[in-house]
Amino acid sequence: MLPGALYLAVAAIAVILGRRHALDLPLLADHLTAWAASPGATRAGGQVVLLGAVLAAAAGVGLAAQALNSGAERLILAADWRTWRTPLRQLAAAGVQSRRTQWVTAHRDYHRLYDQAEQARQAGTPPGEEQRTERHAAYEKIIRISLEPPDRPTWSGDRIHAAAARLDRDLNVDLPTLWPHLPDSARTEITTARAALARATAMGGWAVLYLPLTWWWWPAALITALLATIAWQRTRTTAEGYALLLEAATRLHLKGLAENLGIDPADKTPAALGQTLTHQLHTQPPPPPAEERQTPLPRPNPSPPTASLPPEPASPRP
């Protein structure tokens, strides 16, 4: 209600002042005074009707914002960008390819500097401060692009994907399968972090709502830019925290989860343990329905009996 009411207030200001008098506060005060002195605003019945209309409009704006928030979150995290419709999917694919090219270039630069430092160290001349600074800057450039090879068109989406990619590579763990089975405390922290990420992306939806107001009132562009900037910063921060928490909780509770399921982790490597847990917790799809055999109709003149064919092997389970 409150964000919706604030939006209605800004929209009313935009309609009253317009472009020519965008910052004319006395004009705004005159209009508000005239509205307050009108008969509809001074009577109890009119006030009730006005309050009900404002609350209903604020609720409607809130519902519209929630719909936009879902779309903004889907665009920012881009977890399912390969299923988007053609124009968006092509743009996302181009973004992923661009990020991969930048990541590969930065990765090569870093390894070139690293190899030079190793060769200098083996030759008895350790790299100086300038070389270490350059190598550190090259590594930071990789991190700014993505921790792992980019798979999504946005940094926030790649940061969450990196957690799943690391766990799959290091521990053979399928993160979506494993994390719901973590202890209650870990799942509560993960759910809280995910809610914070949703609130951060919601700012982007509100920025989209404020954008049309710039047609009537140019200061709304400043509000839109401010909300978009806050959404961008908070989304990156909360995505980082959410991904760190997912990866840390999984690594920390892997052995405990195995013990709760009756699996002895003592004789297994972490990768073997993660593969065993993923296999045990993964829900198999239902088997395909058996083909109904139709009984052939008797023939008037049956042919001589032939050797029966061996039964078809059962289809392997996925």
User: Does 315 have pLDDT greater than 50?
Assistant: no
Radius of gyration of the chain (CA): 31
- Positive or negative, the CA dihedral 242, 246, 249, 251 is negative
Check residue 37 and give its pLDDT. 66
- The per-residue pLDDT of the chain, averaged, comes to 83
User: Does 166 have pLDDT greater than 90?
Assistant: yes
User: Does 310 have pLDDT greater than 50?
Assistant: no
Check residue 45 and give its pLDDT. 65
Q: What are phi and psi of 73, to 5 degrees?
A: -65, -40
Report d(CA 65, CA 206) in Å as an integer.
6
Q: What is the DSSP string of 167-218?
A: HHHHH---HHHHGGGS-HHHHHHHHHHHHHHHHHHHHHHHHHHHGGGGGT-T
Check residue 295 and give its pLDDT. 54
Check residue 89 and give its pLDDT. 93
User: Does 294 have pLDDT greater than 90?
Assistant: no
| Bigger pLDDT: 235 vs 313 | 235
Q: What is the DSSP string of 271-297?
A: HHHHHHHHHHHSPPPPPPPPPPPPPPP
Q: Cβ(80)–Cβ(92) under 8 Å?
A: no
Per domain, the residue ranges of the chain are 2-77, 85-153
Report d(CA 166, CA 80) in Å as an integer.
19
User: Does 75 have pLDDT greater than 70?
Assistant: yes
Report d(CA 144, CA 155) in Å as an integer.
8
3-state helix, strand, coil in the chain (%, to 5): 75, 0, 25
